[in-house]
Amino acid sequence: MHKKDLVHRDIKGGNLLVTSSGDVLLADFDTATTITPGAKITSFGALGTPFWAAPEIAACDYPSVRCCVHVCVCVCVLCVCA
């Protein structure tokens, strides 16, 4: 996804599917869009689920790979703590 400058904008536990072999797949690309690296999000506003949103997405700011890292950490923390 990142090599194609694609941002999902709604990564959350409900959009992660686990196969019988243990692979994790990302689902629900309704809010996904391509971005220009370094460009500020202005045309589409904040989308996705607020609880899971990275600060950059919530602020309609400059999305990057860090947004995915933020959400992955949230998912891992909730899996361990739940």
What is the 8-class DSSP label of residue 49?
Answer: -
pTM equals 0.60
Domain ranges, ordered by start, for the chain: 2-81
Contacts of 13 (CB under 8 A, 6+ apart): 52, 75, 78
Task: Flag whether pLDDT at 20 surpasses 90.
Answer: yes
User: Can you tell me the mean pLDDT for 38-48?
Assistant: 59
For 2-81, CATH gives 1.10.510.10
Top pLDDT among 1 and 30 is at: 30
Annotated catalytic residue within 5, 10, 30, 61 = 10
User: Can you tell me the mean pLDDT for 61-78?
Assistant: 73
d(Cα 41, Cα 57) in Å, to the nearest integer? 8
Active site annotation includes 30: no
Task: Flag whether pLDDT at 40 surpasses 70.
Answer: no
Task: Flag whether pLDDT at 24 surpasses 70.
Answer: yes
Task: Flag whether pLDDT at 42 surpasses 60.
Answer: no
